């Protein structure tokens, strides 16, 4: 028997700085490209690592200490990526903020977290000044992306490049416990008040390994990844860690994610994988159809954030010649939950795929009891794993049950192969005459019509039935559908009493800040009697 003190393996802390260390050492010339109004910036991982490490020294020189929190209000750019690693590398917490939220919402988050420094992307100085005035915890602004606005709102201000020259110094990364908080992101608030989700270095590290599995994101050193998912949204789906971990190149679009900008980036930089919400790719398709052009380098598109109409999925596959990987996740999951594999589905239905090793799923009834049969039944979806939240930031109690399961609030089913299909949010179910209507089933059917761009079904107050379903349609570009064609698609496929009584057409579907269809706004506009 070995002695009690026997330690057979090295103590190798799972901290996220190791991803950029690896990228710099073994893939140092692989590039990060940033698009912007003043032209594109290109940098290799080796130089990016050097700058981010010197930024760590500068942040410590400003008086920040491990455990302190620095907020970022920025787009997908090189400077934003440098702040991520510069902060996390020395045990600071990077709190990403969504620039599309109101001053009041952002100020509440900053105050709750106690951010000391705010790093501000180009074009966001006005918003930063308002936040500086509203947030007593803020002590300093750092201007990113070449911004040199000196109107500081009463706080000391540094441009990042100046900060690197005047205070930058080389420091040691990772000299702290792997359970140290690395990042913070607030939920979107679509299911209640936004809640802070804290990501530890360990959870981010293990999430990265899960995302890189062969049946998940499966990135390699041969890939060039267009990151159209914002870095302020759900940990940027883990891509700022996953790409340097395998030496994949990164293409960062700044704030421009319109169809023309994305087409140019894919074509110019030979993107092989593109990642973002469905509405982003709808814009790309519409642009290519309007002006022509191809994207031959593109092999895969990974989508998530909201359900995608089947017609849009097929259009992406046929027009772009890509494999579309559908996925499901949440801010609370870091965020990857399930994903379809990176191979052609041979015409099969698109679900959300299966979870990779490190995450487990459970279906329960409304009272939380596990369903006796976990296949081909709809139940409440619960999850647990090494990158799933246990307790929200500042909360007094855990957000999991006694067995460690986190209730996602989603309804879902699993087929015989374990593929996940979301059946809607439990709160989105429509109760009409005492019976439940599932809007997702209606949306899936109508969304398969080629003339439908986006579709949402919500409950509308009804004096007789309590609620009745209302359908909101954004037609596909240049298409038109009459009400009869829409309702006829549902005949015989759902109960007659499920068919919406009213159909509303909109030029543009309202979207939440994360790119999801904003059903809260739709209910506010159309849900009254």
**DSSP class per residue in 177-196:** -TTSEEEEEE--STTSS--E
Preceding peptide of 335 cis, ω within 30°: yes
**Strand, helix or coil for residue 277:** coil
Sheet containing strand 452-462, strands side by side: 452-462, 466-475, 502-505
> Token pair for residue 369?
């009891």
Considering 427, 431, 435, 497, which one is annotated as catalytic?
431
CA distance 409 to 423: 11
- 332 assigned to active site: yes
CA distance 165 to 203: 33
**How do strand 31-34 and strand 41-44 relate by DSSP bridges?**
antiparallel
Contacting residues for 468 by C-beta, under 8 A, at least 6 apart:
430, 432, 459, 460, 462, 500, 501, 502
- 436 assigned to active site: yes
Considering 34, 187, 272, 421, which one is annotated as catalytic?
187
- 187 assigned to active site: yes
Sign of CA dihedral 239, 245, 251, 253: positive
Please, how many CA atoms are within 13 Å of residue 407, restricted to the half-sphere of its CB? Answer: 19
Print burial letters for 487-502: b (CB count within 10 Å at least 16), e (below 16): bebbeeebeeebbbee
Considering 102, 220, 436, 479, which one is annotated as catalytic?
436
* Residues known to be catalytic: 187, 332, 431, 436
């Amino acid at each position: 028997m070995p002695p009690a003190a026997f330690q057979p393996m090295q103590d190798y802390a799972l901290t996220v700085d190791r991803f950029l260390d690896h990228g710099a050492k073994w893939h140092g010339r692989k590039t990060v490209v940033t698009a912007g109004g003043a032209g594109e910036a290109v940098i290799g991982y080796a130089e990016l690592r050097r700058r981010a490490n010197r930024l760590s020294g500068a942040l410590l020189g400003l008086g920040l200490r491990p455990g302190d929190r620095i907020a970022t209000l920025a787009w997908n750019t090189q400077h934003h990526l440098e702040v991520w690693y510069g902060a996390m590398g020395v045990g600071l917490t990077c709190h990403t903020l969504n620039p599309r939220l109101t001053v009041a919402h952002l100020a509440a988050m900053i105050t709750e977290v106690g951010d000391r420094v705010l790093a501000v992307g180009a074009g966001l100085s006005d918003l930063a000044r308002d936040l500086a005035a509203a947030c007593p915890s803020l002590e300093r602004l750092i201007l990113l992306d070449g911004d040199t606005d000196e109107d500081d709102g009463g706080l000391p201000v540094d441009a990042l490049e100046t900060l690197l020259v005047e205070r930058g110094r080389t420091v040691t990364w990772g000299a702290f416990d792997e359970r140290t908080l690395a990042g913070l992101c607030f939920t979107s608030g679509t299911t209640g008040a936004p809640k802070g989700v804290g990501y530890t270095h360990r959870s981010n590290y293990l999430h990265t390994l899960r995302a890189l599995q062969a049946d998940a994101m499966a990135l390699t050193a041969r890939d060039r990844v267009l990151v159209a998912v914002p870095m302020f949204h759900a940990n940027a789906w883990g891509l700022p860690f996953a790409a340097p971990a395998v030496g994949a190149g990164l293409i960062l679009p700044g704030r421009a994610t319109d169809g023309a900008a994305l087409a140019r980036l894919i074509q110019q930089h030979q993107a092989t994988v593109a990642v973002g919400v469905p509405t982003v790719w709808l814009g790309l398709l519409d642009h290519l159809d309007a002006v022509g052009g191809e994207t031959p380098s593109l092999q895969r598109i990974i989508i998530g954030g909201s359900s995608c109409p089947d017609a849009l999925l097929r259009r992406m596959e046929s027009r772009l010649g890509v494999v579309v990987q559908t996925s499901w996740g949440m801010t609370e999951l870091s965020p990857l939950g399930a994903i379809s594999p990176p191979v052609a589905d041979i015409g099969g239905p698109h679900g959300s795929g299966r979870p990779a090793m490190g995450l487990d799923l459970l279906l329960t009834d409304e009272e939380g009891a596990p369903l006796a049969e976990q296949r081909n039944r709809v139940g409440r979806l619960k999850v647990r794993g090494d990158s799933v939240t246990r307790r929200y930031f500042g909360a007094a109690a855990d957000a999991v049950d006694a067995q460690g399961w986190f209730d996602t609030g989603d309804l879902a089913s699993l087929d015989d192969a374990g593929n996940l299909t979301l059946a809607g949010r439990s709160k989105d179910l429509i109760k009409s005459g005492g019976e439940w209507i599932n809007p997702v089933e209606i949306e899936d059917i109508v969304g398969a019509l080629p003339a439908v761009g986006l579709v949402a079904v919500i409950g509308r107050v009804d004096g007789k039935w309590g609620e009745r379903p209302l359908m909101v349609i954004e037609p596909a570009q240049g298409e038109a559908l009459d009400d009869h064609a829409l309702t006829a698609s549902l005949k015989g496929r759902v109960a007659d009493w499920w068919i919406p009584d009213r159909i509303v057409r909109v030029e543009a579907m309202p979207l939440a800040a994360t790119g999801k269809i904003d059903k809260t706004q739709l209910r506010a506009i159309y849900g009254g009697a």
